[in-house]
Structure 1
């Protein structure tokens, strides 16, 4: 995961998604050799010179300011997750010296109060993960919900590895295809935030080697945040479940995120959760 190359590929992939109609630029005709916008058109929309933007897209980020990043973000119509990813890539590409000291890996919670707290949340499934999507902690209902994932002997249990490498995942996730895009986009965002995470690099290498789909999706450079949504699964014991989830960053445990799943009261999913 070379930071300058990732920056180049991310910017190229974002402008390839745009067209003149979406940006309001006039179309003077002529053959376009690349999909989407030309670099000169992005520079025009961002309010910077085309040469400056070309250098930036090639990975030369020396002296890039916040207003320039904001201008490029507007020109490429980036959403919040993509804007944050662009900032992270530029920040990483700026580093020329020795990589910063790595923070301790979070594979288990360092504070026992965290496990005590999620155990007390006995009516909802809770799943705590790090940026690599390793399972760091669960309560009993969370472990029961993701029992198929926890059958993996490899430690730590990892949601991406389960999704792409375990055949059972295609049955467990009723919207498996959408989940594959989401998981890769989450890992892409984490790669921008943590470019020197060796375990993340090894996970990406493993998945790219063993899954052609992962390799293809990784090359799309899509990113996203994990905040709220709907998770539709088929549990082998209780059947179909449609669960809303909230994802919350843990300030007491930097780098960890807690996912809390819930169901509408008296719904079929709610009643089936009680059976778990």
Structure 2
């Protein structure tokens, strides 16, 4: 992924989401040809010259200081995830953009100790995914509840591929449109951290080609890393389950891995369903969602 066009597309998309009046700018006399902020207005909000802002947006800003990036983030109302994405891409552009010959990518693995932690979790569905959202490990309840990972090929064990290319998985999520949007936003955030990942580029490239919805969402330039929330999942035997989820990026030496946990409210129908599924998992039965 080349940093310069990514910066340009990202900042233009973020400018387009802002109403001048909402950020304290006068409406201006000339009629606007496009929605959102003009470059000069974005520059004014960041307290920098239009010329410098233009160079940054075009990926020609060089070593942009943290103070200027902070000012841009404040002016354009960026979230913390969007701020981190912009910082990563600007720093990459300053280093010369895309590497001509990326280093061979080391396959991601889950340490035995981390697998032991997953297996010890009781009443919680858990999985670990890597830089391209490949599911690398799961506990028994996670395999029961989520997508029957053990029954799928390694290539299919990818959250983004499952959500966009597998109708059975999409149909199990009543809020599939929102989940797909979040998946794409997480992938873009990861692309900012590891833009040279061949694996991640292959997943994004495949989905842009095979899924018009993914391509549209990818072009929207949304960046998000949703750490927690509530998700609905339809189970063939237990109906619609309401699950609290928590996503946590792990510390070194597992910093490119994310732990995803699903749990239920105490004494709820969903908790009863998880207990039943957990008992079924003990018998090594897996259900494809």
TM-score range, shorter chain: over 0.9
Q: 1:14 to 1:97 in 2, by over 3 A?
A: closer
Q: What's the C-alpha RMSD, in Å, of the aligned pairs?
A: 1.6
> Equivalent residue for 1:172?
172
Q: Deviations over 1:10-31 (max 9, x none)?
A: 0000000001111111123321
> Equivalent residue for 1:105?
107
- Give the TM-score normalised by structure 2: 0.90
> Equivalent residue for 1:264?
265
> Equivalent residue for 2:248?
248
> Equivalent residue for 1:6?
6
> Equivalent residue for 1:273?
274
Q: Which runs of 5+ in 1 are unaligned?
A: none
Asked if 1:63 is matched to 2:74, the reply is: no
> Equivalent residue for 1:18?
18
Asked whether the 8 Å contact 1:229–1:244 carries over to 2, the reply is yes
SS of residue matched to 2:240: strand
Please give the alpha-carbon distance, in whole angstroms, between the structure 1 residues aligned to 2:41 and 2:123: 53
1:101 is displaced (CA, Å) by 4.6
Q: 1:22 to 1:201 in 2, by over 3 A?
A: same
Please give the alpha-carbon distance, in whole angstroms, between the structure 1 residues aligned to 2:24 and 2:36: 13
Q: 1:166 to 1:247 in 2, by over 3 A?
A: same
Asked whether the 8 Å contact 2:13–2:221 carries over to 1, the reply is yes
1:189-228 matches, within 5 Å, as 189-228=189-228
Which deviates further from its counterpart, 96-105 or 20-29?
96-105
SS of residue matched to 1:248: strand
Please give the alpha-carbon distance, in whole angstroms, between the structure 2 residues aligned to 1:260 and 1:199: 24
Q: Deviations over 1:110-168 (max 9, x none)?
A: x2111111101122111111121111110000111113555433436101101000111
Please give the alpha-carbon distance, in whole angstroms, between the structure 1 residues aligned to 2:150 and 2:171: 15
Please give the alpha-carbon distance, in whole angstroms, between the structure 2 residues aligned to 1:169 and 1:45: 44
Asked whether the 8 Å contact 1:135–1:156 carries over to 2, the reply is no
Please give the alpha-carbon distance, in whole angstroms, between the structure 2 residues aligned to 1:254 and 1:156: 23
Please give the alpha-carbon distance, in whole angstroms, between the structure 1 residues aligned to 2:19 and 2:98: 40
SS of residue matched to 1:146: helix
1:248 is displaced (CA, Å) by 1.6
Please give the alpha-carbon distance, in whole angstroms, between the structure 2 residues aligned to 1:81 and 1:234: 30
Aligned residue pair count = 274
